[in-house]
Amino acid sequence: MTAELVRGQNHPLPRTRLEIRVSAGTPIVAGATLGDESGTVRGTEWVAHPGTPTLPGLEVSRQAAADHRLAVDLEALPQDVHRVNVLLALPPGTAGPARFAAVAAPFVAVTGLDGTEVASYTITGLDAESAVVALELYRRNGAWKVRAIGQGYAGGLADMLVDQGLPQARELAAVILDAVALGASRSVAAPPPRTSDEARVRTGAPGTGGSDGGPAAAAPAPEAVQQPLTDGGPIDYAHPRRKTTAPPPPPPTAPPAAPGEPPVPVAGDATGWSMEERLYNQVWGMFEDLARTTASYRSAVDFADSRMEQELDRALADPRSRIGSTGDRAREEASARREQLVDRAREAFDRDLAQLTAESEVVEPALPPAYARWDNPVWHGYRVPMEIPMALRVGDLRLPERPELRIPMLVRLPLERGLWIDSGRSGSEAAAFMDAEQVKRLAVETAVALAARMLAVYPAHEFAVHVVDPAGAAAGAFAPLTHAGVLGEPPAAGAQGVAAVLARLTERVDLLQMAARAGAGADALPPGMDTAEQLLIVNDFPHGFDDRAVNQLRYLADEGPSVGVHLLMVADREDASAYGPVLQPLWRSLLRLTPVPDDHLADPWVGHAWTYEPPLVPAGSAILGQVLGQVADARRAWPR
């Protein structure tokens, strides 16, 4: 039976391998500290946080998120550990709330690996606090219990760590917040929350046979008060206002599966008002399913390894048993039990992967151009659209357990943050073995492929692209854009060209912000001002940029997306190191992508390191030129 705890109440823990699930409604930092018998945290090596997410018997998320799953194996903790404190903190310096009074009460639940809830606690009564000790797992007389704490700290994470007796608490708090800021730049942001009516409906979602029960189910819809009509149908009072729009079309129906077989996957089996929205929701559902089922498998393997080590430690504690047949038999038995556990986990994992692979095989061919790879036949029937799509595919994501299963990386349009194509070799293992000029060329080609996608999925004259190439080093790579005539002007070169483009776009952001603050319409803007969204591609940064240009670039990165001005940088971070920390906020505000496969992106659920693959056009394909030619024709035909 689940125990709903109040502050100060405790409850016994019936098992030693647990998950602690946190739901806060806003991105928060989750961590944990280990304490000795007196509750003292002996050093930074006893703190699990986004910068050091894994300790023996403990794992936390690598980034700030609205939902967290902390893994705890109480038997694998060091012998001196008697307490585990679960910490929550609001990340400072973000657009989010600065105190817990401004957010919904955080909810914390202790569950088994199968999802069975043991105890839960809703942390109420917080006000100016920006950090809180949520729960304490503690050992008493050889048994473990959980206690609801709810102790808040207005001084934030640093004060909370000081209170736990941690040496160098404030220095560690700074390290944690730096790790959170870096994580924000590498995280694939989750799609905006959907209402219950938009919740994804899956048939036979993967994970049902996994070791942790698979992904958490979508939150149920608010219960409606129902009253029978004369014909037996119900009246739904959940939304009493008159509905003036048509209800969303039902998702496609999968053909019935044979008894004992998983359902046959169907493209568009998520809910939504259009097939585009249903496919978008389905892709994100597949992404989450793969993240969670992989986390379940990895957790099961870790448990098997930990259990084998503990069994060997107990069996071979006596030095006399370490040699001869007794020791060999103990090792063989422990290894056999480990293999049995791993095989069972792998069987469930392979079943989930097979279902996801089958789903991918029907979803990928059904994707519209904005979501499709360049080698998808849908591009051969491309026509310039009349409406802006929900999202754009900016690459693929995969995990090492099944590298051939690729999940489309979809980002919402309009872009909420700029993009940075890393043209350096130091941040990528694959790029480290390549020629520096080859990496730079691939980086520009990736930028061109992304810019071409944006031009292709927007209606004519609703998207414009500007290119800054101070030294003219990438003229050949930018040729598809210049030859097609989709640029308003040739790529800007030299310091003067850089200054002119930045000045125009900075002025545009200023004017649009002033108009928005004044509540003015488009007629208040200067005559002839282009109202289309703008994309600025900056190549070879910081070459050609003085201090004023750097400040303008930072301004565009911070303020531009809100008024339709977006930044796509092609740069090597090491080349800009001369500017020192002044550019740190710029890099952190951009989503880093790479021109070669690299495992630097994290999902928003469990924080796996996903291998990103750029959306490059296949070698020898003419599809890019054909698509850009249609875009250019539509722009020329647009009435002026």
Instruction: Say if CB 338 and CB 308 are below 8 A apart.
Output: yes
CA distances (Å), origin 340, targets 301, 307, 335, 344, 605: 11, 12, 9, 6, 28
Q: Which residue has the higher pLDDT, 588 or 221?
A: 588
Q: Is residue 393 part of a domain?
A: no
For residue 24, give the CATH number of its domain.
2.60.60.30
Q: Are 188 and 604 in contact (CB under 8 A)?
A: yes
Question: What is the pLDDT at residue 424?
Answer: 87
How confident is residue 320, by pLDDT bands cut at 50, 70 and 90? low
Best-predicted range by mean pLDDT (3-7, 369-373, 488-492):
369-373
Calculate mean pLDDT across residues 544-571.
Answer: 92
Range with lowest mean pLDDT among 226-240, 467-481, 520-534, 625-639: 226-240
Q: How many CB atoms lie within 10 A of CB 251?
A: 21
57: closest CA among 114, 168, 174, 137?
137
d(CA 540, CA 518): 38
Q: Which of 186, 203, 227 is the last residue of a domain?
A: 186
Domains contained in the chain, number? 2
Does residue 250 lie in a domain region?
Answer: no
Task: Check residue 205 and give its pLDDT.
Answer: 37
The percentage of the chain sitting over the pLDDT mark of 70, rounded to a whole number, equals: 85
**Which pLDDT score is estimated for 93?**
61
The residues, any chain, with a CB within 8 Å of residue 220's CB and separated by 6 or more, are: 196
Res 95: pLDDT: 54
Within-domain flag for 49:
yes
pLDDT of residue 292 exceeding 50, the answer is yes
Of 10-19, 63-72, 115-124, 211-220, which range is least confident? 211-220
Q: In what order do the strands lie in the sheet with 463-468?
A: 463-468, 533-541, 565-571, 419-422, 591-593
Q: How confident is the model at residue 315 (pLDDT cuts 50, 70, 90)?
A: confident
The residue segments making up the domain with residue 452 are 415-519+530-637
pLDDT at residue 194, rounded to an integer: 44
Q: Give pLDDT, residue 96.
A: 61
Boundary of a domain, candidates 142, 171, 186: 186
Specify the pLDDT at position 4. 87
Please give the mean pLDDT across all residues of the chain. 82
Identify the pLDDT of residue 217.
31
Query: Does residue 321 sit within a domain?
Result: no
User: How does residue 234 score in pLDDT terms, banded at 50, 70 and 90?
Assistant: very low
Query: Of 186, 219, 242, which residue constitutes the final position of a domain?
Result: 186
Q: What is the predicted pLDDT for the residue at 604?
A: 78
Cβ atoms of residues 105 and 123 within 8 Å: yes
% pLDDT > 90, the chain: 40
| Confidence (pLDDT) at 529 | 76
For residue 442, the model assigns a pLDDT of: 94
Beta strand 58-59 with 131-140 is unpaired
Residue 332 lies in a domain: no
Tell me what pLDDT residue 207 has. Answer: 39
| Burial class of residue 23 in the structure, from the number of CB atoms within 10 Å of its CB (0-12 exposed, 13-18 middle, 19+ buried) | middle
Under 8 Å CB-to-CB from 572, ≥6 apart: which residues?
A: 422, 423, 424, 425, 440
Angle between the N-to-C axes of helices 324-363 and 275-315, in degrees from 0 to 180, rounded to the nearest 10: 180
C-alpha dihedral, 480 to 483 to 488 to 492, nearest 10°: 80
Mean pLDDT highest for which of 104-113, 284-293, 352-361? Answer: 352-361
pLDDT digit string (tens) for 514-551?
887 877 766 677 777 777 899 999 998 888 888 899 99
Helical (H) or strand (E) element with 26: strand 17-35
408 located within any domain: no
Query: Is position 273 within any domain?
Result: no
Which DSSP symbol is given to 253? Answer: P
pLDDT tens digit sequence for 194-229: 443 433 334 333 333 333 333 333 332 322 322 222
pLDDT of 23 > 80? The answer is yes
Q: In sequence order, which residues have a C-beta less than 8 Å from that of residue 508 and are 6 or more positions away?
A: 529, 534, 563, 565
| The total number of residues written for the chain in this structure | 640
CATH of the domain at 594: 3.40.50.300
> Is 612 domain-assigned?
yes
Cβ atoms 133, 150 nearer than 8 A: yes
pLDDT digits (tens, 9 = 90+) for 429-453: 777 788 888 999 999 999 999 999 9
